């Protein structure tokens, strides 16, 4: 079995819910786990991962980076939420945890930003050969049932934002859309 995994999907594809369920299942079997997230993600509190799909939450350790992080020798599985907010160097640390320490590392996050660019950490996960698991959901445009593969970010007036910060929190000004609707609304084609 692969020991480095990347569970990715668009916003609303239940990535955090999947992490919370995996944590529950591992703990039910008596498996020692650790859960971390980037300190940048403080939407639900500093040490909490919460799913918008119901009342699911789990405690996590929030870290600005993985420079000084070391996994407990008794831990078998490391769960990482919002992995896209870590750096490529942090991904290399996760590789070391998986390979040199023989731990299972399961990362959850976004692959691309709202400008169709790979997040640097997500790109690094692909480069180092993480086993990829796409979590699917459908386009949020009413009536569309195609696979959501992209994100559109909107300003307060409902206009599509085509440039700016890659790292932004929240989902109230985002929509997860299929490629066709992304091209129509982002590129005007």
Task: Write out pLDDT tens, residues 97-113.
Answer: 999 999 999 999 999 99
Q: What average pLDDT does the chain have?
A: 90
**pLDDT tens digits, one per residue of 82-100:** 999 999 999 999 999 999 9
Q: Where are the domains of the chain?
A: 4-134, 150-187
Q: Phi and psi for 33 in degrees, rounded to 5?
A: -130, 160
- The answer to whether 4 and 131 are in contact (CB under 8 A) is yes
CA distance 69 to 90: 10
**pLDDT tens digits, one per residue of 125-173:** 999 999 999 999 999 999 999 999 999 988 888 888 887 665 555 555 8
What is the per-residue pLDDT for 59?
87
DSSP, collapsed to helix, strand or coil, labels residue 70 as coil
Of 22-26, 43-47, 64-68, 177-181, which gets the smallest average pLDDT? 43-47
- The answer to whether 142 and 17 are in contact (CB under 8 A) is no
What is the per-residue pLDDT for 17?
92
Q: Indicate whether 4 pLDDT > 70.
A: yes
What is the per-residue pLDDT for 161?
84
Q: Sorting pLDDT into bands at 50, 70 and 90, what band is 123?
A: very high
* 13 contacts: CB under 8 Å, gap ≥ 6: 135, 136, 137, 148, 176
What is the per-residue pLDDT for 168?
59
Query: Could you give the angle at the alpha carbon of 78 between the alpha carbons of 76 and 84, nearest 5°?
Result: 160
CA distance 136 to 10: 8
CA distance 10 to 154: 16
DSSP, collapsed to helix, strand or coil, labels residue 109 as strand
CA distance 49 to 41: 9
What is the per-residue pLDDT for 172?
58
The CATH class of 4-134 is: alpha beta
* Active site annotation includes 82: yes
Exposure on the CB side of residue 27, measured as CA atoms within 13 A: 11
Average pLDDT (14-20) is 92
**pLDDT tens digits, one per residue of 33-52:** 999 999 886 666 677 677 77
What is the per-residue pLDDT for 13?
92
- Given the residues 82, 127, 165, 184, select the one marked as catalytic: 82
The residue with greater pLDDT, 2 or 60, is 60
């Amino acid at each position: 079995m692969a020991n480095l995994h990347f569970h990715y999907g668009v916003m609303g594809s239940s990535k955090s819910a999947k992490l919370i369920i995996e944590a529950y299942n591992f703990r039910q079997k008596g498996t020692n786990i650790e859960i971390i997230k980037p300190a940048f993600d403080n939407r639900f509190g500093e040490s909490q991962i919460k799913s918008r799909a119901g009342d699911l939450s789990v405690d996590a350790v929030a870290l600005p980076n993985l420079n000084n992080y070391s996994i407990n020798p008794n831990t078998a599985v490391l769960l990482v939420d919002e992995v896209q907010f870590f750096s490529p160097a942090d991904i290399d640390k996760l590789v070391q945890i998986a390979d040199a320490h023989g731990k299972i590392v399961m990362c959850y996050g976004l692959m691309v930003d709202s400008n169709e660019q790979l997040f640097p950490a997500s790109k690094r996960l692909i480069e180092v050969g993480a086993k990829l698991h796409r979590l699917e959901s459908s386009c949020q445009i009413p009536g569309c049932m195609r696979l959501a593969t992209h994100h559109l970010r909107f300003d307060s007036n409902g206009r599509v934002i085509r440039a700016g910060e890659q790292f932004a929190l929240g989902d109230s000004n985002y929509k997860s859309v299929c490629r066709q609707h992304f091209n129509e609304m982002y590129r005007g084609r």
